[in-house]
Amino acid sequence: MTWLRHALVIVGKDLRREARARDFAIATIVLALLMLLTFAFAFDVAGEHVRRAAPGILWATLLFAGVLVAGRTFAAEEERGTLEGLLLAPVDRGAIYLGKFLGMVITMGALEALVLPAYAAFFDVPALAWGVLSSVAAGTVGFAAAATLFGAIATHARAREVLLPLLLLPTASPLVIAGVRATDVALGGPAVGADMPWLQLIVAGCVVYLAAGLAVIDHVLE
């Protein structure tokens, strides 16, 4: 159980850091809200248009906010030179991965708790329906699992700010497709492939990314 305790210590450390220096968290939240605004301009949202575009707007917003949060996970350590300290500590690499992953899930969850009501209000959709919440929650877990791994991969690389989304967006495409479809079904749309088990696909993605992350993290953080 020391393994889990180490992970939780890292979670606590990361969340405390974000809570003390709030500027990054606030900027990310404002950016997510700004994206909702931009999408409202981009897709002339009125009447039936809203319903057609709404699922994609939610997922694109969360995806890009997620890329920012993912970049922060390891970059903050690298900037201060604390990554070496973390790696020198007698802590299993898997625990570091799990800690960073849980921290990102919690951060994204807090962001979503603010974005979802705003989204529901702006686009007049029942965004707090069970189907939406479950797919967003599962999608967040899967995204964070992949993002934590790629965040670790991108450290020490040139132009890592650009590399991270470059790796993350194509990899996360199954989550985005399934998430948008599941949300579409939940919002009562005439979804393409409404009979497909989209939520199960997202959960499968969570399992694959988490297993892959835990399996290879020892080789990434050396």
Backbone φ and ψ for 155, nearest 5 degrees, come out as -65, 150
In the complex, the smallest distance separating the C-beta of residue 209 from other proteins, rounded to whole angstroms, is 8
* Residues from 119 through 158 that contact other proteins (CB under 8 A): 149, 153-154, 156-158
Residue choice 29, 118, 129, 196 for contact with other proteins (CB under 8 A): 196
Q: Say how far apart CA 95 and CA 40 lie, in whole Å.
A: 41
Q: Say how far apart CA 143 and CA 68 lie, in whole Å.
A: 12
Assess 214 for contact with other proteins (CB under 8 A): no
Q: Please name the amino acid found at residue 121.
A: A
Assess 194 for contact with other proteins (CB under 8 A): no
Assess 190 for contact with other proteins (CB under 8 A): no
- The structure tokens 């809570």 sit at 19
Assess 159 for contact with other proteins (CB under 8 A): yes
Assess 178 for contact with other proteins (CB under 8 A): yes
- Tokens standing for 214? 């835990």
Assess 212 for contact with other proteins (CB under 8 A): yes
Assess 72 for contact with other proteins (CB under 8 A): no
- Tokens standing for 3? 């393994």
Per CB under 8 A, the segment of 9-17, 62-70, 97-105, 214-222 that binds other proteins is: 214-222
Assess 113 for contact with other proteins (CB under 8 A): no
**Longest CA pairwise span in the chain (Å):** 58
Which residue's CB is nearer to other proteins, number 36 or number 202?
Answer: 202
Assess 94 for contact with other proteins (CB under 8 A): no
Q: Three-class SS of residue 78?
A: helix
Q: Say how far apart CA 111 and CA 62 lie, in whole Å.
A: 9
Taking residue 218's Cβ as centre, other Cβ atoms within 10 Å add up to 12
Q: Say how far apart CA 111 and CA 55 lie, in whole Å.
A: 17
Which residue's CB is nearer to other proteins, number 83 or number 111?
Answer: 83
Backbone φ and ψ for 129, nearest 5 degrees, come out as -65, 150
The site for other proteins, by CB under 8 A, has a size of 32
Positions touching other proteins (CB under 8 A) are: 149, 153-154, 156-160, 163, 166-167, 169-171, 173-174, 177-178, 181, 192-193, 196, 198, 201, 204-205, 208, 212, 216, 219-220, 222
